[in-house]
Amino acid sequence: MNPDDLWQRTLARTTQALASEALRPIETSYEYVDDGGVRFLVRVVANLRRKDADRRAVDPFSLPQSKQVNPFGPHDPELFVADLSSTHVCLLNKYNVVRHHLLLVTRAFEDQRRLLSEADCDALWRGLADIDGLGFYNGGADAGASQPHKHLQLVPLPLAPKGPAVPIAPLLPSAAADEIVRADALPFEHACACAPWGDQPYRERGPATHDAYLRLLRRVGLLPRSGPLPDSPAGPYNLLCTRRWMLIVPRSREYVEGISLNALGYGGALLVRTAADLARLKALGPMTVLERAAVAPR
């Protein structure tokens, strides 16, 4: 595929999949909630039952692979967008809240808890090369992943109609390409890198991104500082990656008071199911919710 086609293919496939109802968007309203120097975008879902039925009948991570129902292996051809590489395909997210939400899925089954590979990072940049978006990874069920088959995700920017393209981004410090930094305003463990790929062309950034990913995981204590790499990091985490920066956030739990969080939440875009959840989120403050689902700074 010519990767420049990815956006055009996304638009065309979305039109077809909406018409055939292979794509089942989740309708939301939204509002902004200011907390901790961030204008959080909070979406409120009228009805999550359909997605929950797919997702929560059984915890898919707890089943042996032979018993798992895997929506990505095989994937629904009506949601197929593109062949990204010999190892990855691009699909539409069937139950999308954000328009044009893409999944970057390994062709062969790999466990979502395993470390990302250089091939995963290459696939991510095949997406980011054509779509100025937020790439993200929910590393494990406690980080918000619902599917055990390895999948990165990509949503176009901006995340919110008003304000910064990624609400949390203004808190991230600028730094040299080889530095790993923290944002003083984030009250939980994390590590950030600013364009560790330097000025390499988009499609050549996979190896430098993979290298930075491993360094960020080491910095937050999810990988040993030396010795051979394990198959998986020591715990759940979220990865966020744009054309400009990368952020790793170790996680302790998926839910805080019934509110589920994934990597998008750490970008500043939250999703709640009901008005009662929204009220609880406002009472706690979104930054406190993020803090409770993460781990204390080391």
Q: Can you give the binding site for ligand AMP, defined by CB under 6 A? A: 51, 54, 71, 76, 79, 91, 93-95, 103, 138, 144-147, 151, 262
Write down the least CB distance from residue 39 to ligand AMP, Å. 24
Task: Output the six-digit token pair for 295.
Answer: 């781990």
**Residue 195 or 290 having the CB closest to ligand AMP:** 290
Write down the least CB distance from residue 199 to ligand AMP, Å. 31
Report the alpha-carbon distance of residue 226 to residue 29 in Å, rounded.
47
Report the alpha-carbon distance of residue 120 to residue 243 in Å, rounded.
16
**Residue 155 or 208 having the CB closest to ligand AMP:** 155
Write down the least CB distance from residue 67 to ligand AMP, Å. 17
**Residue 128 or 239 having the CB closest to ligand AMP:** 239
**Residue 106 or 262 having the CB closest to ligand AMP:** 262
Q: Helix or strand or coil: residue 13? A: helix
**Residue 112 or 219 having the CB closest to ligand AMP:** 112
Q: Are 136 and 102 in contact (CB under 8 A)?
A: no
Report the alpha-carbon distance of residue 296 to residue 61 in Å, rounded.
26
Write down the least CB distance from residue 271 to ligand AMP, Å. 10
Residues with Cβ within 8 Å of residue 31, at least 6 apart in sequence: 42, 44, 278
Q: Tell me how many degrees the CA angle 253-159-264 measures, rounded to the nearest 5.
A: 10
The CB-based long-range contact list for 279-288 (8 Å cut-off, 24+ gap) reads 281/33, 281/42, 282/33, 284/256, 284/257, 285/35, 285/36, 286/33, 286/35, 286/36, 286/38, 286/40, 286/42, 287/35, 287/36, 287/38, 287/187, 288/35
Write down the least CB distance from residue 66 to ligand AMP, Å. 19
Write down the least CB distance from residue 78 to ligand AMP, Å. 9
**Residue 10 or 147 having the CB closest to ligand AMP:** 147
